[in-house]
Amino acid sequence: MLKVNEYFDGGVKSISFENKGPLSIGVMEVGEYTFGTAAPERMKVIKGELTVKLPGHIEWETFGAGDDFEIPGESSFQVKVEQTTAYLCEYL
Amino acid sequence: MLKVNEYFDGGVKSISFENKGPLSIGVMEVGEYTFGTAAPERMKVIKGELTVKLPGHIEWETFGAGDDFEIPGESSFQVKVEQTTAYLCEYL
């Protein structure tokens, strides 16, 4: 059964699924969010753009459609979303 | 507000959003489905694989991650899903 997840009062929604490991696809509305990680993750932007501050990084980096970035486990990352953005998250 | 859609008793779920036009991202569980279209659509496979019979086509064609295909409006297409698959749909 496909599980739908909702975060930040519905500003972020995702669908969890399995395909050679756990993944989710989701959409982030315009806003600023901080996500915590348990397992390490690889995030890929599908449509739109994410400006991200990764743990231990000083600079904010912007990732567009097709770009991906990794986040260590047991950490957190900040995201600024200036256009509604779709993403794929792989739990590594 | 991000709208979650559910089809075929939850076998397909999607999230509708807007970014320079209407889109949705979704996940299809293993199975066979027939989708109708109102507007023309462009479907892109994000993770997994879809085997598709497009309107007017005799052959079934398989599309993997990164591949896309277009479906005319006011028509329908058949899909065979052999692994849980994530997709992006753009309404043209």
User: Do residues A1 and B10 lie in contact, with contact meaning Cβ atoms separated by under 8 Å?
Assistant: yes
SS3 A21: coil
Tens of pLDDT, residues A56-75: 999 999 999 999 999 999 99
Select from B18, B23, B86 the Cβ nearest to the Cβ of A17.
B86
Contacts of A22 in chain B (CB under 8 A): none
Q: Which residues contact A26 (CB under 8 A, 6 or more apart)?
A: A5, A12, A13, A14, A15, A86, A87, A89, B15, B25
Q: Report yes or no: B84 at the A interface, CB cutoff 8 Å.
A: yes
Report the DSSP beta bridge partners of residue A27: A13, A86
A48 — phi, psi (to 5°)? Answer: 100, -145
In chain B, the residue whose alpha carbon lies closest to the alpha carbon of A6 is: B2
What domains are there in chain A, each with its CATH number? 3-91 (2.60.120.10)
Q: Report yes or no: A9 at the B interface, CB cutoff 8 Å.
A: no
Q: Tell me the pLDDT of chain A (92 aa) as tens digits.
A: 899 999 999 999 999 999 999 999 999 999 999 999 999 999 999 999 999 999 999 999 999 999 999 999 999 999 999 999 999 999 99
Tens of pLDDT, residues B33-50: 999 999 999 999 999 999
pLDDT for B1: 82
ipTM of the complex: 0.95
